[in-house]
Amino acid sequence: MQADFDRQNLDQWLAWLEKLHPSTIDLGLERVRRVFERLQLDLRPIHCVIVGGTNGKGSTVAMLAATLSAAGHTVGTYTSPHLLRYNERVCLDGEPVDDASLCAAFNAVEAVRGDVSLTYFEYGTLAALVLFAARQPEYLILEVGLGGRLDAVNIVEPALSILTNVALDHVDWLGSTREAIGREKAGIFRAGKPAVYGETDAPDSVLQTARAFGTRLLRKGVDYTWEEHGDTWTWRGHDAQGQALEFAALPRNGFPFDNAAAVVQALQYLSPALPEAALRQGLRDIVVPGRFQELRHAERKVILDVAHNPHAAANLAHNLRTRLGGGRVLMVLAMLGDKDSAGVISLLAPQADRLYAAPLGGERGSSAEIIYNHARKLGHAQVSRHDSVAAAFQAALADSEPADTIVVTGSFHTVAAVLELI
């Protein structure tokens, strides 16, 4: 398919990319690597990091980037999906790149693509790498889209990899057990390069992959630990030379301590001379849209969280139990059909005084009826069905009182719908 449209128009590029490949997901590196080699990009001067895992990838990328930026380094980030604008995926020093730069990068990919069919994500990954190769930031942090071993970002050779955790999600693509999923996600490890695993119970497949690759695997509970102390926490571990380190009274930022601790460990290898003040600033000042993001609308507190599987829902439930004051919790929930809605609802419904079920459109969307039925089976009497996320949010807003909190969750699409509305 030829790119027959205005090539200086980002919206037209994105609409064309959605039709270029017959499948939204087509795991494998052969096609994307072929085009990558034709581009002849020089990423060697850049310290690249690949961040994979089931949950916490976005906040891990953000904390890592914020800390390196606080130390005066230039940083590029590539994340997905976006909430409102595609530009959010490709950032330099915390700022999304402009439309013209993205269009130029897409044009560069198209100039060498030939007859290779690329998915939307693969094309976007190559375009991001074109842009970063031209701008040459000191550090480049790439978030895995799906899995790891066969994900498009894995064509890059990282200086370090971070695997946040392994839980059940995307089972149709990655396998139905933690062992199978762990094997796919650990595919971002590299021989002779360090990797950080951010939780205690690593699947055997992750450990086996690290041994097979010759990867220096740094694990929570083995190589580093953390302790919570109310509003602060302490990290203990070692630097790249094996010297014991401790950072006490670190600022709490609302993200899981496991993710923050993995970032601290990774930084000991990425930037050994990083000032402690920069570490504290990066951890303290970070805000990630859609990750327990708090804002005010119509004089009401609104929390946006993209939790879409049981692992993420458990973290959101913990935050709702421990970080809210008085008042009721009114929860707007909409999910994709291929997610474990029963597992998510079993964790989140007990935290809500009232649940507002909404549908998501598209081929993957789930109906409000499914959420409603799951909630009722759990004995949740205060649940209602609505025609859209916007309608559910407006109903919650109408029912709310000044002391209440409206929580919007279940999917990136759910959060994006409310962000567009407000």
Residues 283-301 have pLDDT tens digits of 998 888 999 999 999 999 9
Q: Containing domain of residue 374, as a range?
A: 293-421
Number of domains in the chain: 2
* 381: confidence class by pLDDT, cuts 50, 70, 90: confident
357 touches 333 (CB < 8 A)? yes
Task: State the residue for tokens 């052969």.
Answer: 30
The mean-pLDDT minimum among 59-68, 371-380, 397-406 falls in 371-380
- Last residue in a domain, options 234, 264, 284: 284
- Last residue in a domain, options 255, 284, 313: 284
Say whether both 69 and 114 belong to one domain.
Answer: yes
pLDDT digits (tens, 9 = 90+) for 176-213: 999 999 999 999 999 999 999 999 999 999 999 999 99
Burial of 281 (0-12, 13-18, 19+ CB in 10 A): middle
Residue 191's CATH number: 3.40.1190.10
* CA–CA distance, 72 with 387 (Å, rounded to integer): 48
**Residue 4, in any domain of the structure:** no
What is the β-pairing status of strands 354-357 and 329-333?
parallel
pTM for this model (two decimals): 0.92
* CA–CA distance, 289 with 303 (Å, rounded to integer): 10
**Residue 1, in any domain of the structure:** no
pLDDT digits (tens, 9 = 90+) for 125-167: 999 999 999 999 999 999 999 999 999 999 999 999 999 999 9
Burial of 279 (0-12, 13-18, 19+ CB in 10 A): buried
- Which stretches of 267-367 are assigned E, i.e. beta strand? 293-297, 300-305, 329-333, 354-357
